[in-house]
Chain A
Amino acid sequence: MSDKAILFDTSRCSACRGCQVACKCWNDLPSTLEKNGNPPTGSYQSPMDLNGDTRILISFNEEAGGSKGVKWAFGRRSCQHCTDAACATICPAGAITKHEATGLVTVDDSKCIGCQYCSTACPFDVPRYQEGLRTTVNKCTGCVDRIEQGLEPACVTTCQPDALVFGDRDEMIALAHERADFLKARGYEDAVVYGEDEMGGLHVIQVLKYGVAAHGQVENPQANPVVGLTQIMKPVTGAVTGLTVAGLAAMFVLGIGYKRDKLAYNPETEDTISVDTGQVVKHGDGQDEETVMEHITENLPGKKGGN
């Protein structure tokens, strides 16, 4: 089976947000039940950002101009399913993985340890950390469950103007180019195809009617440099006890300044530990806190290889 992709054609999108809510319904994701619990946004866009329970979001960006007086650019904020998926590369728990048959990047939140490396690594700011019953990171799963049963992803199924199409990636790219050419001929000279080569090739191919930025997409996305580190450290992980990840966590804090809790994970015991306090955030089997703390200390950056 060849790689699959979702084609998102902004010029067909009516921003109805059927996709946004169909995702929630299929995946049993909650919205607040609190009276008037959704903050006003001053826009048609709501919520304003992704979160663990809103894994696809239609963005609205309006400016005066164009042949009709206004350019109202609708965008799709969700996982782009990179070929070079930094999140999957860095995920220490195997929660985010590449789905071999389709190339989609799927997530199993039952395996997530909440370390949030994926969030840091992602050039599109997609995986979101969420506290709750289980404190995990979540994102679009690609609806691999549906695809395996012969269905399209929920967002694609529900899209009425066929702004979302699912199929072989090659075909989606061809369709996208055809459409971009059509739009250019109709006077949308900034129309462009996005996702063909970015991050080794995305599995969400987009036709952006008003150009990349107008639709809220990232020009020339790059994985966070920290991802490279994991490649170096992986053999070490295999060789020793697997607490390399703690080093990474600390490094995020020290080296990049990304504000978050410092967590460590012991793959052997499946425990998650706060680096600052030594407290076990999430228990696995056979946890030995003292041992883990020792390992954390030993594995802080600067003590072990890396750059």
Chain B
Amino acid sequence: MTNHYCDMQNADVIMTIGSNNVENHPVSSKWVQKALDRGATWIVVDPRYTRSAEMADIYCPIRSGTDIAFYGGLFNYIIEHDLWQHEYVLNYTNASYLLDEQYSFDVNEGIFSGFNEETATYDNHSWHYQVESTKTWDTSEGGAYAWAAAPGVPEFTPPTVEVPKRDMTLQDPMCVFQQMKKHYSRYDLDTVSSVCGMDKDLLEKVYATYASTGAPDKSGTILYALGQTQHTYGAQNCRSMGILQLLLGNVGVAGGGVNALRGEPNVQGATDMGMLVANQPGYLNWPTEYGTPSLRKWCEKETYSDGYYTNKPKFVVSALKEWFGDAATVDNDYGYDWWPKVPKSPDYSIIGSFELMSQGVIKGYFNWGMNPCHSAPNASNVRKAMANLDWLVVADWVETESACFWKAPDMNPADIDTTVYFLPAALIYEKPGIILNSGRWLQWRYQAVEPWDEAKPDYEICDVLWTAIVDLYKKEGGVAPEPIVNTKWDYYVDGKIDPRPVAWALNGYVYDGTECDTTSAAPKTELLSSFANLKADGSTACGMWIYTGFWANNDAPLDPAEQAVGSRVADDPTGLGLHPKWSFAWPLNRRIIYNRASADMQGKPWNPDRVLVEWTGEKWVQNDVGDFVAVSNGTPVPPNDKAFMMLWEQNARLESYGMGDGPLPEHYEPFESPSDNQMNGRQNSPCVRFAEFESVKRGDRSEFPIAVTTYSVTEHWQTGGQTRTCPALNEAMPQQFVEMSLELAEEKGIKNGEKVRVRNNRGEVEVMALVTPRFKPFTVNGETVHQVGMTHHFGWAGEYATGDIVNDLPPNVGDPNCWVPEYKAFLVDIEKI
């Protein structure tokens, strides 16, 4: 989230789209209600009438997978009716930047310039800006970038700053604004309502209501979740929300933002941590074989020419220093070679990894509190793939479907040679540690009780495994032991593994001044209070640069209550719900990121009642920690247009050359769709990932005419490992269901409460039919399209509540930017049992 939960109360208009915030992020209901109490309007856009829709002011049904058409229509509406926030868009975005003359979009083919049909990828050269002039870094002594040439800093050639050509009148046909205007002119109300299956008048009402937040003093917030991301164009859905909020001046303001309601308790932390194939902690890229095979190459490719990411070498060197400790020196590139290099292909992310298991490439598998035999798309294929493993280790609270995949109804244990270990994990209140919420708050969990029986905290499980592996390599040798034996693993207090020294590692510290492995009650630490103190010369170590400052009190380094993370002062001096002293929000305790954009070019807040930062004429008032350079060398910096300092342009991107599948969002149909694409000549995104896998078994609407989306209910959670363990929740929601319209039920002869079979080429499941007026057939391109929705929390494992695996049905295809599967729109057929 750019903003955070308590901030929702500040919105004038709230749009829930691609989430069901009341059901799946229930605490949001509190904050949305507070906004309504203050007179806000709440819009819910969803394929079915949810519990969120019941609480909202306006409900707008949408056919699953047509969000970009909806947004495109909204962009068009905003531009046509001149409702965009002029000063904001002109100065804080790239609206005025001129695009390369070669940039184009072919409506008939449905592709942007630079497409290669053979590889199904784009060359993004023509999506870049025209260059006005270039500048180089001053690395001479006393220069702004002198640090880059200092001793101990890895050698690299600094990037060249390319100053883009701009037209501040926004008239040049190649400027981003004009290109957007042209691109979205096709998205008129009639076409959009026909694509989305919406009532045109209702659509216009929604547009008018949301676009009203383009007034400078108004703010609108978007609450989204997996309904936006789980599509073969999920990243473009997210881009669309960003563009919308920029057009209306809603980014960086209280009550605004693009707010991902994230689905797991610490998925924010796991994303921050870079627990993904190609990521490092703190949103840095993991080294690749093809792009960044050496530290020098990494610094040259990843370091931005301007803006805050000019500091990336400091972050990566500090990360390496924390990783390898004494073994990391400037002479060995701080151990960079020991880090594995990601290949261009094959794909090792979740979907690709099952393909590699099927091929016998991946032979051993760790599941840490995750249950892919249930949660991954085309789950029966996952179970078959896992049957090829030599070994599987599952650390969890309960026997998950993955732990006992060999017991699945469609498996014969005698045929499966996998050795499976189940390691019992401690519950969250049986261990201490840090968790992050969607609002980027780091909070401390105190241990309340001892783990029951032989369960262990995951940090202890990790430690016993790692220690045993290192011992083996030390004792027996083996292939390439260097990365293992040189890894720094010294997170002990009194000889016991302890999360607190790990917290120091994440926060960052002066390397020579800190001893992680301690037996002292007052250990020696030099923890850093800001990532501005990180160095690229190996003198500082930091596992997660964005967290720096959350654990920086050197007077009590073992006491979480004395650290920012453990602070429980709930004061709210502005009344905006910033709660600046409650826990810690990364980065630097900033509660609303991009907050420079909450004030105009003179530094005057757009809304005097919602002041985040304000220029007094002499200095900046910072009710929130400013997300810009407010002071330089001790002198206040007067307002300028650099409101987005994490981009090299320091202006936000309405058009982005960084996307894999197009610089502007364009509507395509889901991989399996009940309708033809009405917006352009190409049915699906040209870049859909994994469509070539045989296991996908694509279905056709002639055989499977019913569109389906999957979702969660408030009483259960994900694969149900936890919630199906709680008897009161099983009682409240005893089984899974397929929700369908009265019309479809009548057509199929299905009555409410009856068991039905839902099937496609990948699988079939039996669930209960919920026949309801809350689902209505859509009229798409003049034809009736039926859509249904299914919950997905049940499986065969567990003692209390079981059911079929609904995730056997979705296709294992992915978004081309981040490989997220398409759970939210695919095809099935339904029959009465």
Contact = CB atoms under 8 A, between A and B. Distances in A.
A69 B802 CA distance: 34
Interface string B774-789: 1010000000000000
B731 A31 contact: yes
A34 B714 CA distance: 22
B731 A15 contact: no
A40 B734 contact: yes
Given A16-B23, A16-B26, A46 B800 contact: no
A41 B734 contact: yes
A106 interface: no
A63 interface: yes
Contact of A162 (B22, B30, B713, B776): B30
Contacts of A36: 734-735, 800-802
A277 to B, nearest CB: 35
Contacts of A70: 49, 53-54, 59, 773-774
A68 B58 contact: yes
Interface stretch (B279-287, B308-316, B498-506, B722-730): B722-730
B752 A42 contact: yes
Contact of A72 (B58, B753, B774): B774
A64 interface: yes
B29 A14 contact: yes
A162 B30 CA distance: 7
A32 B33 contact: no
A160 B714 CA distance: 13
Nearest to A47: B731
Interface in A62-88: 62-64, 68-70, 72, 74
A164 to B, nearest CB: 12
Interface string A13-55: 0111110110011000011111111111111101100000010
Most buried by A among B729, B731, B734, B776: B731
Given A14-B23, A21-B729, A31-B730, A72 B54 contact: yes
B107 interface: no
Contacts of A64: 773
B10 to A, nearest CB: 17
Nearest to B774: A70
Contact of A21 (B49, B51, B732, B753): B732
A185 to B, nearest CB: 11
A36 B731 CA distance: 9
B800 A35 contact: yes
A255 interface: no
Given A69-B776, A162-B30, A14 B731 contact: no
A34 B734 CA distance: 12
Contacts of B57: 186
Contacts of B53: 68, 70, 72
B55 interface: yes
Nearest to A9: B33
Contact of A69 (B49, B735, B799): B49
A54 B57 CA distance: 32
B33 A46 contact: no
A208 to B, nearest CB: 14
Contact of A30 (B22, B61, B727): B727
Interface string B1-42: 000000000000000000000110011011011000000000
A221 interface: no
Contacts of A35: 799-802
A305 interface: no
Most buried by A among B54, B714, B715, B799: B54
Interface string B760-802: 0000000010101110100000000000000000000001111
A161 B735 contact: no
B714 A17 contact: yes
Nearest to A11: B55
Nearest to A38: B734
B715 A17 contact: yes
Contacts of A31: 727-728, 730-731
Contacts of A54: 731
A34 B800 CA distance: 6
Interface string B703-720: 000000000011100000
Most buried by B among A34, A41, A44: A44
Given A14-B51, A16-B26, A161 B774 contact: no
A11 B730 CA distance: 26
A21 B728 contact: yes
Given A42-B768, A42-B770, A69-B49, A14 B801 contact: no
A58 to B, nearest CB: 9
Contacts of A295: none
Nearest to A161: B29
B733 interface: yes
Nearest to A25: B728
A38 B773 contact: no
A44 B30 CA distance: 22
A46 B734 CA distance: 8
A44 B49 CA distance: 13
A282 interface: no
A177 interface: no
A12 interface: yes
Interface string A157-176: 00011100000000000000
B741 to A, nearest CB: 11
Nearest to B776: A69
Nearest to A30: B727
A89 B23 CA distance: 41
Contacts of B56: 68
A43 B770 contact: yes
A28 B380 CA distance: 39
Most buried by A among B56, B58, B773: B773
Contacts of A18: 26
B23 A24 contact: no
Contact of B732 (A20, A69, A161): A20
Contacts of A11: 55
A14 B55 contact: yes
Contacts of A62: 772-774
A31 B33 CA distance: 32
A33 B774 contact: no
Given A30-B727, A33-B800, A14 B26 contact: yes
Most buried by A among B26, B53, B55, B774: B55
Contacts of A74: 54
A44 B774 contact: no
A161 B768 CA distance: 30
A226 B730 CA distance: 39
Contacts of A39: 734
A15 B51 contact: yes
A190 to B, nearest CB: 15
B439 to A, nearest CB: 16
B709 to A, nearest CB: 18
Contacts of A40: 734-735, 753, 768
Most buried by B among A35, A63, A70: A70
A24 B799 CA distance: 20
Contacts of A38: 730-731, 734-735, 801
A72 B713 CA distance: 16
Interface of B: 22-23, 26-27, 29-30, 32-33, 49, 51-59, 61, 713-715, 727-735, 752-753, 768, 770, 772-774, 776, 799-802
Interface of A: 11-12, 14-18, 20-21, 24-25, 30-44, 46-47, 54, 62-64, 68-70, 72, 74, 160-162, 186
Closest CB pairs A-B (n = 10) = A42-B753, A38-B734, A31-B727, A161-B29, A31-B731, A21-B728, A68-B59, A64-B773, A72-B54, A14-B22
Given A14-B26, A31-B730, A41-B753, 10 more contacts: A18-B26, A35-B800, A38-B730, A39-B734, A40-B734, A68-B49, A68-B59, A160-B30, A161-B29, A162-B30
16 contacts: A14-B52, A17-B714, A20-B728, A21-B728, A31-B731, A32-B731, A35-B802, A36-B800, A36-B802, A38-B730, A38-B735, A44-B733, A62-B772, A68-B54, A68-B56, A69-B59
